[in-house]
């Protein structure tokens, strides 16, 4: 069967409704994601290594190994984790491409990391040496366990793609994990890390090594959190989810990356130890988070101050934080829930988040990134410095590196392992969740295999052609996800007959023969979407979507208009598609100038029509900010106010 401990996949649960496939059995051969995966391997990895060296974050390990002066250490307290995430990205990429040169770079860094490990397994360049703060002395902010978590994930990626490698990474990880178990075990320090990550990492490490003690430790960390073991910080204990036990919480809250990582770890634990109550708690948290605390892009986290979720319905488009890493964390969580439950809504969110958050972060050349992903940019902003790290949310354009640079390495490891999220299998057959050009294969225990080839121009075209590439006289099920947004006009064509299909999963069970085809056609007319009436910040606005893509209005596309904020979209005329471009009709308005912007006479507040534009082009949100500084809106005010008497007027 697939999904055993020796598959190459980031997540291999012992049980669940669906099983992951080996990455090597899913090949992305081109198109939207193929291109991004290639650029990631060809350019982003080298770009990351350049900056890790340049900023001294790898050299920190040398410094520790050589007993150098701790004041020379550079970077923030969590910079070790970027090196580990880079190792993880490289490991997946080596598994995907067999790149010998990358393999040698990988080994070189592993050696430098390993040299910094203390005899008892402790490994961190920021704590524990003379002249540094003692080990585990700052669990709130120190990120030591978080760093170990990413080390373990790098080792998992490596051991699953190169189980026989003698590079030493697995040993380093085992010693570090054992040190954690000794230090934080039942009789050890009774606390948790301010940034969740060790939980999901320990479970996966347990799965990869077969060592139950790592799972036990992960379960202990999950249970400990939420009881106020961490100090009360300025942002409150909800910042690191220490306000409420995981199994009592009803929604994700606090720092959006931490919240998602913790929830992912809780699912891992729940699945492994068959804790139905814990799993159900996270399921409920996910439902409430998605229905009330998630941006239309799939982005999560609305607050700059603490990189946190706001309360329900607090989803301001301007200053939306929507950190790239929170999007990745959300994909991690949804993927684990999808494996556990099989519910296609998890895959819906993964699709939305991959296309509109994860793919928005890297520039086309893979060498600059968004850290935050705002949905409204009012001012042009400045071009980020290419010669030094940027502040995370400072510029309106993508930046090559950040002082807190979690996002580039997170994007890199996600793109390198993207095949993991495309399809699953169960005893009955194959389920395709994400649509891209490539092949998906399920190897059966008896040597048979089920294989399909997918051809599509998705997300720009709605036709997804799935051709069976294997022969098997036994019938099996081929399932395709019909996305939630495709609730009007989706069809599946089988044996030349098209039939309407509703959002959810369409499954055909038959004895598939090589060359059999199932064609899914999704409705690709651009559409307006309307926000829930409780989202105050976008009242009176619509967004535009086409397929899984959210669109944006960018100022470079309306050169005659001073600001995108001066446009009102005509919602009586649906968005149109012309030559692949999505177009909307807009009225240009100007605000009235008054000394004081709040008027008893509604007419004095109403915008004044200036001009009309029949064909205002929108860009896919993921492609915005690629043509120099610009202003941008995802949520477009409608022109209702222009066509109707203003409120309070006769």
Which residues does the annotation mark as catalytic?
307, 406
Q: Which is nearer to a copy of itself, 140 or 348 (CB)?
A: 348
CA distance 622 to 98: 30
Q: Min. distance of Cβ 538 from a copy of itself in angstroms?
A: 8
Q: Which is nearer to a copy of itself, 39 or 308 (CB)?
A: 308
Location of structure tokens 């986290």: 301
Q: Min. distance of Cβ 299 from a copy of itself in angstroms?
A: 12
Q: Which is nearer to a copy of itself, 104 or 305 (CB)?
A: 305
Counting Cβ atoms within 10 Å, is residue 61 exposed (0-12), middle (13-18) or buried (19+)?
A: buried
Q: Phi, psi (5° rounding) for residue 425? A: -140, 165
Residues 328-367 that bind a copy of itself (CB under 8 A): 345, 348
Residues 557-616 that bind a copy of itself (CB under 8 A): 565, 571-572, 574, 589, 591-602, 604-607
Q: Which two tokens stand for residue 610?
A: 């200036």
Q: What is the dihedral of CA 186, 192, 193, 197, to 10 degrees?
A: 70
Residues 292-331 that bind a copy of itself (CB under 8 A): 292, 294, 296, 303-305, 310-314, 316-319
What are the beta bridge partners of residue 479?
A: 431, 507
* Pair type for strands 26-28 and 517-521: unpaired
What are the beta bridge partners of residue 477?
A: 429, 509
* Binding residue count for a copy of itself, defined by CB under 8 A: 78
Binding mask 435-464 for a copy of itself (x = CB under 8 A): ------------------------------
| Number of other CB atoms surrounding residue 380 within 10 Å | 14
Binding mask 219-258 for a copy of itself (x = CB under 8 A): ---------------x-x----------------------
**Is 297 in contact with 550 (CB distance < 8 Å)?**
yes
Q: Min. distance of Cβ 448 from a copy of itself in angstroms?
A: 37
DSSP 294: B
Residue 56 has, within 13 A of its CA and on its CB side, a CA count of: 15
Q: Which is nearer to a copy of itself, 164 or 595 (CB)?
A: 595
Location of structure tokens 């075990």: 185
Q: Which of 195, 192, 334 is nearest to 258 (CA)?
A: 195
Q: Min. distance of Cβ 537 from a copy of itself in angstroms?
A: 5
Chain center to CA of 464: 24
CA distance 505 to 412: 30
Q: Min. distance of Cβ 135 from a copy of itself in angstroms?
A: 23
Residues 534-553 that bind a copy of itself (CB under 8 A): 534-543, 545
Judged by CB under 8 A, the residue of 488, 514, 577, 611 near a copy of itself is 488
Contact stretch for a copy of itself (CB under 8 A) within 211-219, 222-230, 371-379, 410-418: 371-379
Residues 393-412 that bind a copy of itself (CB under 8 A): 394
Q: Which two tokens stand for residue 560?
A: 């005659």
Contact stretch for a copy of itself (CB under 8 A) within 42-50, 63-71, 133-141, 481-489: 481-489
Q: Is the Cα dihedral 86, 87, 92, 97 positive or negative?
A: positive
Q: Which is nearer to a copy of itself, 44 or 390 (CB)?
A: 390
Residues 492-531 that bind a copy of itself (CB under 8 A): 527-531
Residues 79-108 that bind a copy of itself (CB under 8 A): none
CA distance 417 to 383: 31
Q: Which is nearer to a copy of itself, 320 or 415 (CB)?
A: 320
Binding mask 106-135 for a copy of itself (x = CB under 8 A): ------------------------------
CA distance 231 to 139: 9
Q: Min. distance of Cβ 311 from a copy of itself in angstroms?
A: 5
Judged by CB under 8 A, the residue of 391, 498, 511, 610 near a copy of itself is 391
DSSP 592: P
Binding mask 255-294 for a copy of itself (x = CB under 8 A): --------------------------------x--xxx-x
Q: Which is nearer to a copy of itself, 265 or 317 (CB)?
A: 317
Residues 21-80 that bind a copy of itself (CB under 8 A): none
Q: Which is nearer to a copy of itself, 403 or 471 (CB)?
A: 403
Q: Min. distance of Cβ 315 from a copy of itself in angstroms?
A: 9
Q: Min. distance of Cβ 633 from a copy of itself in angstroms?
A: 9
Beta strands in 301-458 (DSSP E): 376-377, 423-426, 429-432, 438-443, 449-456
Residues across the chain: 650
| Number of other CB atoms surrounding residue 509 within 10 Å | 12
Q: Which is nearer to a copy of itself, 109 or 544 (CB)?
A: 544
CA distance 413 to 106: 14
CA distance 214 to 180: 9
Q: Which of 8, 5, 21, 7 is nearest to 335 (CA)?
A: 21
CA distance 332 to 336: 6
Judged by CB under 8 A, the residue of 57, 485, 512, 624 near a copy of itself is 485
């Amino acid at each position: 069967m697939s999904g055993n401990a020796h598959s190459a996949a980031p997540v291999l649960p012992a049980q669940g409704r669906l099983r992951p496939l080996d990455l090597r059995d899913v090949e992305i051969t081109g198109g939207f994601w193929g291109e991004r995966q290639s650029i990631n391997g060809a350019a982003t990895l080298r770009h990351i290594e350049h900056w890790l060296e340049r900023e001294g974050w790898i050299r920190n390990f040398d410094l520790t190994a050589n007993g150098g002066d701790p004041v020379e250490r550079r970077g923030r307290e969590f910079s070790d984790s970027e090196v580990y995430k880079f190792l993880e990205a490289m490991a997946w990429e080596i598994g995907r491409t067999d790149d010998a040169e990358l393999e040698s770079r990988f080994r070189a860094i592993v050696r430098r990391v390993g040299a910094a490990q203390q005899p008892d397994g402790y490994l961190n360049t920021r704590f524990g040496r003379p002249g540094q703060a003692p080990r585990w002395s700052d669990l709130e902010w120190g990120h030591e366990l978080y760093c170990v978590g990413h080390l373990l994930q790098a080792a998992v990626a490596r051991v699953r793609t190169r189980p026989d490698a003698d590079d030493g990474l697995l040993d380093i990880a085992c010693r570090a994990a054992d040190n954690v178990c000794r230090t934080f075990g039942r009789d050890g320090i009774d606390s948790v890390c301010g940034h969740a990550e060790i939980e999901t990492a320990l479970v996966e490490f347990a799965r990869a090594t077969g060592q139950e003690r790592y799972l036990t430790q992960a379960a202990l960390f999950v249970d400990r959190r939420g009881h106020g073991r961490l100090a009360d910080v300025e942002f409150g204990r909800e910042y690191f989810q220490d306000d409420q036990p995981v199994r009592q919480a009803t929604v994700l809250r606090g720092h959006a990356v931490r919240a998602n990582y913790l929830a992912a770890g809780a699912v891992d634990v729940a699945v492994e130890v068959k804790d139905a109550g814990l799993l159900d708690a996270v399921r409920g948290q996910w439902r409430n988070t998605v229905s009330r605390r998630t941006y239309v892009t799939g982005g999560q986290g609305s607050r700059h101050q603490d990189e946190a979720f706001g309360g329900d319905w607090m989803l301001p488009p301007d200053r939306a934080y929507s950190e790239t890493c929170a999007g990745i964390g959300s994909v991690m969580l949804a993927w684990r829930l999808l494996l556990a439950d099989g519910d296609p809504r998890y895959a819906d969110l993964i699709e939305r988040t991959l296309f509109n958050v994860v793919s928005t972060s890297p520039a086309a050349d893979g060498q600059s990134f968004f850290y935050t992903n705002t949905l409204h940019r009012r001012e042009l902003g400045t071009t980020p410095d290419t010669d030094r790290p940027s502040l995370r949310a400072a510029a309106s354009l993508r930046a090559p590196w950040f002082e807190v640079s979690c996002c580039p390495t997170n994007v890199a490891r996600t793109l390198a392992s993207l095949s993991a999220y495309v399809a699953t299998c169960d005893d009955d057959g194959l389920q395709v969740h994400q649509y891209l050009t490539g092949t998906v294969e399920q190897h059966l225990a008896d040597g048979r295999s089920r294989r399909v080839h997918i051809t599509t121009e998705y997300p720009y075209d709605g036709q997804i052609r799935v051709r069976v590439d294997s022969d098997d006289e036994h019938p099996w099920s081929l399932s395709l996800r019909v996305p939630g947004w495709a609730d009007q006009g989706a069809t599946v064509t089988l044996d030349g007959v098209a039939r309407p299909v509703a959002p959810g999963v369409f499954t055909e069970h038959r004895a598939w023969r090589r060359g059999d085809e199932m064609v899914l056609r999704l409705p690709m007319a651009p559409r307006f979407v309307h926000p829930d009436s409780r989202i105050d910040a976008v009242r009176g606005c619509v967004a535009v979507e086409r397929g899984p893509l959210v669109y944006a209005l960018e100022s470079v596309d309306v050169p005659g208009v001073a600001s995108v904020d001066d446009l009102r979209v005509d919602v009586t005329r649906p968005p149109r598609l012309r030559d692949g471009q999505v177009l909307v009709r807009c009225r240009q308005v100007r605000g009235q100038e008054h000394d004081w912007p709040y008027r008893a006479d509604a007419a004095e507040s109403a915008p004044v029509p200036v001009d009309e534009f029949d064909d205002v082009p929108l860009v896919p949100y993921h492609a915005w900010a690629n043509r120099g500084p610009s202003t941008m809106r995802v949520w477009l005010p409608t022109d209702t106010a222009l066509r109707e008497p203003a409120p309070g007027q006769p």
